[in-house]
Amino acid sequence: MFYQILAAFFHLFGILYDSIYQSSKPDQLNPLRVKGKEFPGPYLGQWYFIAGAASTQEELAIFVPVDNILFNMAASHVPQKLQLRATIRMKNGHCVPRKWTYHLTEGSTDLKTEGRPDMKTELFYSSCPDGIMLRETGQGYQRFLLYKACELSSD
C-alpha cells in the first residue's frame, strides 16, 4: 500500500513538473541555409551513428545487433535526391552494406525515403558539435537518432 501511494505521488509530481517546466522543442533545420551553406551541403559526407531514443524498445530493436554504423551521404546525379550508403558492423563481426535514396522536400529539410512512403525523416539541430539529430516516423513508430560528422585524418 505504501509503495502504491508513493508511486501515485511521484506520478502526480511528474505531471505537475512537466506542466510547469516544459522542455523546448529542438529547432528544425533551416531549409535554405545551414551553417552558411545551402542545404544539404553541410550534411554531405561521412557520419557515425551515435545513439537512438524511442518510447519503446521495439522501435529501436533494429539497432540491438549493431556494433557501429558509418554512413556516407552524397548528392545524386538526379536533382532533389540524396544517396545514403551505410556500412553496418554487427556485433558478430559481419559487415552489412545498405543503401537508401532520399527525396528532398521543396522548401523543407524533411526527407522522404524511396520505397517507403510511410516513412518521414526530419532533421534537427543538435547541441553536439558537428552533430545532427533525426526524427524518423513511420507506421507505428517514432525514433530519434543522433549522428556525428566524421573527422577523417589525411595521414
CATH code of the domain containing 122: 2.40.128.20
- Residue 34 has what pLDDT? 47
Could you list the beta-strand ranges (E) of 94-149.
95-104, 111-113, 120-125, 131-138, 141-149
Does the pTM of the predicted model rise above 0.75? no
**Is 21 contained in some domain?**
no
**Residue 92: inside a domain, yes or no?**
yes
Residue 68 lies in a domain: yes
Q: What is the pLDDT of residue 80?
A: 83
**Total structural domains within the chain:** 1
Residue 89 lies in a domain: yes
Given a cut of 70, the residues of the chain with pLDDT beneath it are: 2-3, 6-42, 151-155
63 lies in some domain: yes
Residue 31, in any domain of the structure? no
Instruction: For 16-47, write each residue's pLDDT tens digit.
Output: 555 565 555 555 544 444 444 566 666 788 99
Q: For residue 16, what pLDDT is reported?
A: 59
